[in-house]
Amino acid sequence: MAVDSESVVGTAPRLAEGVELIGEYQGSGFIQAPYIVRRADGQVIQLPRLLYLLAASVDGQRDHAGLASVLSAEFGKVVQADQVAFLLDNRLRPVGIVAPGPIVGEPEPGQASSPPKMAMKSDPLLALKFRVGVVPERVVWRIAGVFAPMFWPPVILASLVGLVGLDVLIIAQGGMGKIVPSALALVYQPALTLLVIGLLLVAAAFHECGHVTACRYGGAKPGVMGFGLYLVWPALYSTVTDSYRLGRGGRLRTDLGGVYFNAVFITGMSAVYLDTGAPWLLVAIVALHIETATQFLPMIRLDGYYILSDLIGVPDLFSRMGPVLKSVIPGRPTHPRVQELKPWVRRTITLWVLIVVPYLLYWLIGFLIVVPKVLPVVWQQLIRLCQAVGAQAAEGHIAETALGVVQVILLLLPWVGSLLLLGMMARRPVRWLLARFQRVGLGAGRS
């Protein structure tokens, strides 16, 4: 690539607005720990040491020659001005770390320009993509401040002791034998069923409060909270990306904050149940216990996935799945994205991949087999439910009508989520095919 030395020397790049240089990623599972940068939109980006040092040197005053001089001194190796220009234009500007500016130099005739190696926006596998923010950052910050005392060590200890103690007391009083009759009783009491559903929704919101509170307690800034469709079911979410600035302990506290707040919520419900003996409360308590336990599964992006990620110090485990699978093929060399990991981390991720891939394939194949058989049944059930809801509404049965509407929504959401998921999965192959057909068409036109 031809570079005009005068334009290189005369340009003074600056960081993009709102970019924050956080520093070395603490508790990293990499042989060479990456460095963390946070953009104004909350996106956290990992950089190797050279690029981070370059970003830290960019101040809007130094031109490329000045940056090369500073970078050479800090990095310990000679870096030229044209190399600085290349790194700025092809590494830091495409990801929004350095403010946009004119690209230095033009490709020589017959030579293609080097494309950016990193994308502006990450597109992680199995992430919560269909979502909408509801609670803004400033409100989330205040909520986290209100609940901050919940993370004082004596309060944590008292809460966990209370959870175990009340669980034992409920079991000792025969609570296990009352679960099935209590659940069956809800079939004939729609108002209580709605109450259980509402209580579980409140518990889910309180769960997210636990994440943002732990994030603020550790010294990071939580983002918006909202709801969306995760895979095929509705979910609440909280933005705690800034927790990457914390050490391993702070990140794990943020990961565990949700299930800890679940424990607090269960403790409160258990105390009320022991006082009132309300059967519907027992159903809610058992359901929340099950939901809390499933949060520890690391197969999809639940709390357990992030706990495992922060324990071994490797963000976004799903992005390592392809390199790991390529590396385990006999006769194939170890992928560079696997080689950069510490040996024990490499073994841990390989084991995780060998468990997760069959798990996901099992559910995907099962889904494709079941869909053709279930869709007609779901359609008939929807028609029946809509007719029943209309009849209940005409008779003025408010609780039954509301429960019917909830059932219709719950029946529809998984299928809406499934269609969105299939569309998302098909998008990349379709784009690849279209691009291929376009190339074939252009080639035929030139022949």
Quick check: is 362 in a domain?
no
Do 47 and 166 belong together in one domain? no
Domain boundary among 313, 338, 368: 313
Q: Which of 156, 132, 323, 143 is nearest to 236 (CA)?
A: 132
> How many other CB atoms are found less than 10 A from the CB of residue 246?
23
Do 196 and 307 belong together in one domain? yes
Give the pLDDT of residue 382: 77
Give the pLDDT of residue 416: 67
Give the pLDDT of residue 115: 41
Q: How many domains does the chain have?
A: 3
Tell me the sheet residues that pair with 38: 20, 44
For the purposes of burial, counting CB atoms within 10 Å of the CB of 215, is it exposed (0-12), middle (13-18) or buried (19 or more)? buried
| Model confidence pLDDT, tens digit, residues 349-389 | 999 999 999 988 887 787 778 777 777 777 777 788 788 87
The sign of the dihedral angle between the CA atoms of 269, 271, 276, 277 is positive
Quick check: is 255 in a domain?
yes
Domain boundary among 258, 291, 313: 313
Do 395 and 266 belong together in one domain? no
Q: Is 389 helix (H, G, I), strand (E, B) or coil?
A: helix
Quick check: is 318 in a domain?
no
For the purposes of burial, counting CB atoms within 10 Å of the CB of 196, is it exposed (0-12), middle (13-18) or buried (19 or more)? buried
**CA dist., res. 221 & res. 121, Å (int):** 20
Give the pLDDT of residue 130: 72
Do 78 and 212 belong together in one domain? no
Do 41 and 167 belong together in one domain? no
Query: 45 near 37, Cβ under 8 Å?
Result: yes
Contacts of 400 (CB under 8 A, 6+ apart): 190, 392
Domain range for residue 48? 5-92
Do 159 and 221 belong together in one domain? yes
Do 292 and 245 belong together in one domain? yes
* Tens of pLDDT, residue by residue, the chain (447 residues): 444 444 444 568 999 998 999 999 999 999 999 999 999 887 889 999 999 999 999 988 999 999 999 999 999 999 999 999 999 999 999 999 999 865 444 444 444 444 444 444 555 666 666 788 899 999 999 999 999 999 999 999 999 999 999 999 999 988 788 888 888 777 677 778 788 888 999 999 999 999 999 999 999 999 999 988 776 677 899 999 999 999 999 999 999 999 999 999 999 999 999 999 888 999 999 999 999 999 999 988 899 999 999 999 998 899 899 899 999 988 899 999 999 999 999 999 999 999 999 988 887 787 778 777 777 777 777 788 788 878 888 888 787 787 777 777 767 766 666 666 666 556 666 766 776 776 655 555 544
pTM value is 0.80
Quick check: is 410 in a domain?
yes
